[in-house]
Amino acid sequence: MTQTFDDRLIVALDVPNALAGLELTQRLGPQVGFYKIGLGMLTGGGLALANELVAEHGKRIFLDMKLFDIGATIEAAVRGLVQFDLDMLTVHGDPHVVRAAAEGASGKATRILAVTILTSLDRADLDAGLIEAGDIPDLVATRAARAFEAGADGVIASPQEAAMIRALPEAAGKLIVTPGVRPTGGALGDQKRVATPAEAIAGGADHIVVGRPIWAASDPSAAAADILGSLP
């Protein structure tokens, strides 16, 4: 199937179940070809939807599981998940997790993306979680560099940190995927470290993940078209 979409935009299918997700993809049509399926839809048929979108509709899938466990469990989980012909799969950025995930994905095309610091968190949240002191951009850059060294194919990071990560020597040839992207004037929702789609791409992101501004819009197709039209 010929790709006719701009795959820099990944639409988050943060809807209740696979039927609602499939309906949204149909409303968005051929202009969107890359979708994120996360934990919120896992019990609502998320993996089945991923299979259908890949096999029957020629879409790309980013499975956002943010896996975290001991190495043996991560390796086994990833080895099972990569059978679904995924483009991307997320794990937490701790080096032992990344190494195990890379081993589990060995020989498959699925790219392992490491989560640095969630874009819904700020310094007060990190303090409450007993995370070491320091500015968030510096912590994100350090976690990203360590994840790359451990074998990550890319990282998930706020658009505010994309440029800093892109400048890392370890980031050569790696992917940067940014949630926390909001169109100009858009509501922040549960995000705290945000930027516009154009700012995120200009800052070094390869892909932007947009959910609520599209699926909650009265016309999701028009909302997606506006975002695509804003990209440099």
Which are the catalytic amino acids? 66
The burial class, CB within 10 Å (0-12 / 13-18 / 19+), for 195 is buried
103-117 core/surface letters (b: 16 or more CB in 10 A; e: else): bbbeebebbbbbbbb
- Phi, then psi, of 6 in degrees rounded to 5: -90, 105
- Rounded to 5°, the CA angle 206-42-53 comes to 60
Contact, 21 vs 37, CB < 8 A? Answer: yes
Alpha carbon separation from 103 to 50, 76, 96, 116, 127 (Å, rounded): 23, 9, 11, 20, 33
- Token readout for 9 is 């935009």
